[in-house]
Each structure stands twice: as C-alpha cells, then as structure tokens.
Amino acid sequence: MAERERRLTPPRGGVFVPRVQVLTAQDVQRALIRIAHEIIERNHGLEEVVLVGLQTGGVPLSFRIASVLEEMEGTSVPVGLLDVAFYRDDIGIRPVLPEAATDIPGDLTGQLVVLVDDVLFTGRTVRAALNALSDYGRARAVQLAVMVDRGHRELPIRPDFVGKNMPTRIDEQVDVSLDGVVLGDVVPR
C-alpha cells in the first residue's frame, strides 16, 4: 500500500482502519500458486517470461510468484520492479511522489511481461505502467496479475490473472500483503 501517498493525502493524510479479513495468509498463498499455474498454462511454459512488480504493493507478490514458478518449473524467472509515479495522469491533482526506484532487468523487447500488483481499482496505475514499460523496449505481450480486483474501473483494462474478485464501495480501502487481505476504511487523521 502506498504509505507515502496516504500520508500526503489532503488535508492531513489518513489512517487505515481494518474492518474485515477477507483472505488469510494461507488463502493468499493458494491464490499465488494458482496464479503461477495459470501463467505457465497460458504461456505454455516460462520462456521469455519476465515478472514486473509494481512499487510497492506488487513487489512482494511478484517475488513470491517467482519462487513458486521456480519450484514448479525449475527455471528462475527474472523479476523487475516498476514505479509508475512519473507516468501518472493525476500529477498536479494529487500528491504524487515515487515510492521506490525502478529496477528493470535489461531490455524488454520480445519478452513476455507479467505485471503484478496488489489491487486493481480504477486501472490508472496499470495505464501508467503500460506507458512506463514501453520506455524499456517493445514487449511481445503484457499480461496483468492482481491479488484483488475490486471493481470501479475508469479505463478499459482487465486482469489476466486474479487472486480474488471483490466487490467494494468506492470509499473503502483494500490492504494486501502476504499475511492476507483486509478490507477497511481510511479515516482522516
């Protein structure tokens, strides 16, 4: 979750107050194993597959998927990290600051990129990520894996691999980690 963005959200930031645990750590682990299977199935193996985790929520998930893939297929999949702050369309509307540096292994031209994020919401982060990726080469294809799809899309974007479809209110907040998925609210400080 974007801690820095939350801290800077006007007027004084907010605090995440958890309400319901939706997935346990075990559920998350099972979903990641299923997603790993689906990635192999869809792409008939792991040739030229690169995982790219979105900073910061997608990063632990992408490393976890990579280690599951390695256990299953015996090949190690490169993992890149991508921060999309500089490509967002709400710069100047909302405080936007990079969370962490981008680290993409080499040129992505001809590779099959699987973007990994924690929550798919409006789709604007993914839109920014697609623009950012194109600066690292022309990927053969880009697929999207998310732990939670919470709806409320504002752009024609859909995930290829989903841990859990979860209808939410627009003002709720979804917190994803390897310890589970929690639904809650952001309360102004």
Partner 1 sequence: MTDAPRAPSPALETPKGSRRHLLSIAELGAEGIEEILEVSDAFVEVGRRSIPKVPSLRGRTVVTLFAEQSTRTRLSFETAAKRLSADVLSFSVDSSSVKKGESLRDTVQTVAAMGVDAFVVRHTSAGAPAAVARWVDASVVNAGDGWHEHPTQALLDCYTIRQVLAERAGRPLEEAGVECFVGLRVAIVGDVRHSRVARSLVLALGALGAEVTLVSPGGLLPPSLEGWPLSGVSYDLDAVLPTVDVCYLLRLQSERGAGAFLPSVREYSTWYGLTSRRAALLPEDALVMHPGPMNRGIEIADDVAALPQSVVLRQVSNGVAVRMAVLFMLLGQVGSSGGARGLASTLASVPMAGDTG
Find the farthest-apart pair of alpha carbons in the chain and give their distance in angstroms, rounded. Answer: 50
Q: Which is nearer to partner 1, 34 or 152 (CB)?
A: 152
**Which residues lie near partner 1 (CB under 8 A)?**
1-2, 5-6, 8-10, 14, 16, 57, 83, 85-88, 90-98, 100-103, 107, 118-126, 131, 135-136, 150, 152, 170-171, 173-174, 186
* The residue to which tokens 């976890």 are assigned: 64
| CB of 49 vs partner 1, minimal distance in Å | 22
CB 74, min distance to partner 1, A: 29
Nearer to partner 1, 74 or 92 (CB): 92
- State whether residue 17 is helix, strand or coil: strand
One-letter amino acid identity for 158?
Answer: R
Residue 94 C-beta: closest distance to partner 1, Å: 6
Distance CA 80, CA 59 (A): 9
CB of 52 within 8 A of CB of 104? yes
Q: Measured from the CB atom, is 111 or 125 closer to partner 1?
A: 125
Q: Which is nearer to partner 1, 43 or 137 (CB)?
A: 137
Q: How far apart are CA 155 and CA 151, in angstroms?
A: 11
Q: How far apart are CA 158 and CA 151, in angstroms?
A: 10
Residue 36 CB, nearest approach to partner 1 (Å)? 23
In this complex, which beta carbon is closest to partner 1, that of residue 40 or of residue 157? 157
Residue 139, judged by CB atoms within 10 A of its CB (0-12, 13-18, 19+), counts as buried
Task: Report the nearest approach of partner 1 to the CB of residue 25 (Å).
Answer: 19
Residue length of the chain: 189
